[in-house]
Structure 1
Amino acid sequence: MTTLEAAVELLKLISLMVFISSIGAQVWIAFLDITKYFTDTLEKFRPAPSQDKYSRIAVIIGVFVMLAG
């Protein structure tokens, strides 16, 4: 395996880890939206809007990486 191939595989692995954590964040946000009507105590754990935006971008990039790999 050449250095370039190893770097590409490392980039894919990092992208996969970001993708998985971003999916977790999106699930958490959906859960908070569903339970919003039942309790407001979990609202303090809601990510900031900028974090939500970057999480969605990471999910989209992760999908492209998984489809390409």
Structure 2
Amino acid sequence: MAPNIPGVDEQELVLRTRCAAGLLNWLALTPIGSELAAMPAERLERQLVPVVAGAFRGGAG
């Protein structure tokens, strides 16, 4: 992913990856996880992809 995020060093990229993974893990383990599991894949993708992609957008802060 690093080539797609100029100006973000490896340490920040690792942090962003861990944050995105933590968010997804939290969603899967909370009561909303069952709601997400019942959601059509297309709707789930439409809702979650922007959230996760946001962790990897933009340069260094």
**TM-score normalised by length of structure 1:** 0.38
Which one has the largest radius of gyration?
Answer: 1
Higher RCO by CA contacts (8 Å cutoff, separation 6 or greater): 2
**TM-score normalised by length of structure 2:** 0.42
